[in-house]
Amino acid sequence: MEEKPIGEYEKGLMEFFRDYVTENKQSLIENALNERTRYVTAVVENIYKSQNASAVLRTCDCFGVHDFHIVEDSPRYKMNPNVSKGAGAWVNIHRYDDEAGDNTEVCYERLKSEGYKIYATSPHASGVPIERVPLDSKVAVVFGNEHSGLSQKALDMADGYITLPMYGFTESFNISVTASICLHNLVNRLRETDVDWHLSQKEKDAIRYRWYRRVVRKAEALERRYREEKGLL
């Protein structure tokens, strides 16, 4: 999940693009990069309503969570632009949608190989309140669909369970509310620790390059001009 480092060509092109990015936009990008983290990430499994998945994506961006994982056995996720408000341009979306594979298992194995402890949101008997989830390792929080919650596989492979206290008659929060509560708690607590949760310089460079490509107008035409000036055509 780490960003592929950019080479000298991309670094030169990024500096060329810089002249076409307003100072205000450059400042916004640098501020966002400095606040971005991969120490916490979010996973959704088989979400039925696109507005719910899009709301979680938007929440990730708002809290500086850079990666969003979507397990799509059925149905397929479609971005709802009215809800995501363009968050998909700034957050890395990782999709697991192999029709012949076990997408939940593939997602979990990838996260665990990258050092994440996986916590499933569930009214599980052994669940812990969100404020007690330890931050001594990277954390991935998994959210289930609106009808049946998380699959048994997602529950069985999790390292732990998160519960949120509720005091009314309703059995559960909406998925977007659950994600907001969880990410707000984890990210805010993380910022109060000594954990180095920031992006590395190489990650910042790679993400900045990708973001510059997105914000400049006619990026492909500008790249051709850059290659002409450098004699690379």
Q: Which of 42-46, 48-52, 176-180 has the lowest mean pLDDT?
A: 48-52
64 occurs within a structural domain? yes
Q: What pLDDT, on a 0 to 100 scale, did the predictor assign at position 172?
A: 77
Q: Which of 38-42, 53-57, 199-203, 209-213 has the lowest mean pLDDT?
A: 53-57
Q: Helix, strand or coil for residue 96?
A: strand
165 occurs within a structural domain? yes
Q: What pLDDT, on a 0 to 100 scale, did the predictor assign at position 142?
A: 97
Closest by Cα among 93, 96, 106, 31 to 67: 93
Q: Which of 89-103, 166-180, 183-197 has the lowest mean pLDDT?
A: 166-180
Q: What pLDDT, on a 0 to 100 scale, did the predictor assign at position 146?
A: 72
32 occurs within a structural domain? no
Q: What pLDDT, on a 0 to 100 scale, did the predictor assign at position 83?
A: 43
Q: What pLDDT, on a 0 to 100 scale, did the predictor assign at position 192?
A: 97
Q: Which of 45-54, 134-143, 195-204 has the lowest mean pLDDT?
A: 45-54
Q: What pLDDT, on a 0 to 100 scale, did the predictor assign at position 143?
A: 95
**DSSP of 154-177, one letter per residue?**
HHHH-SEEEE----SS-S---HHH
Q: Is 199 labelled as part of a ligand binding site?
A: no
* Residue 128: its H or E element: strand 128-129
Residue 154's CB: how many other CB atoms inside 10 A? 24
Task: Using a pLDDT cut of 90, give the percent of the chain over it.
Answer: 72
Secondary structure letter of residue 146 according to DSSP: T
Q: What pLDDT, on a 0 to 100 scale, did the predictor assign at position 150?
A: 92
For residue 180, the enclosing domain spans 37-197
Does pLDDT of 201 surpass 70?
yes
9 occurs within a structural domain? no
Residue 165's CB: how many other CB atoms inside 10 A? 6
The phi, psi pair for 132, rounded to 5°, reads -105, 5
Q: What pLDDT, on a 0 to 100 scale, did the predictor assign at position 23?
A: 96
Mean pLDDT of the chain: 90
Residue 57 corresponds to which amino acid?
L
Q: How far is CA 69 from CA 44, 72, 88, in A?
A: 6, 10, 12
**pLDDT tens figures, 210-223:** 999 999 999 999 99
CA distance 119 to 130: 10
CA distance 192 to 226: 44
222 occurs within a structural domain? no
**Which comes out higher in pLDDT, residue 105 or 76?**
105
CA distance 20 to 23: 9
118 occurs within a structural domain? yes
Q: How many structural domains are present in the chain?
A: 1
Q: What pLDDT, on a 0 to 100 scale, did the predictor assign at position 84?
A: 44
106 occurs within a structural domain? yes
**pLDDT tens figures, 109-132:** 999 999 999 999 987 768 899 999
Give me the mean pLDDT over the 151-179 stretch.
89
Q: Which residues contact 188 (CB under 8 A, 6 or more apart)?
A: none
Q: What pLDDT, on a 0 to 100 scale, did the predictor assign at position 1?
A: 55
**How sure is the predictor about 160, in pLDDT bands with cuts at 50, 70 and 90?**
very high
Q: Is 121 labelled as part of a ligand binding site?
A: yes
Q: How far is CA 19 from CA 23, 26, 210, in A?
A: 9, 10, 15
Four-CA torsion 205, 140, 157, 179, nearest 10 degrees:
-130
**pLDDT tens figures, 52-86:** 888 999 999 999 999 999 998 865 555 555 444 46
Give me the mean pLDDT over the 184-202 stretch.
97
Q: Which residues contact 200 (CB under 8 A, 6 or more apart)?
A: none
73 occurs within a structural domain? yes
**Domain harbouring 153, CATH code:** 3.40.1280.10
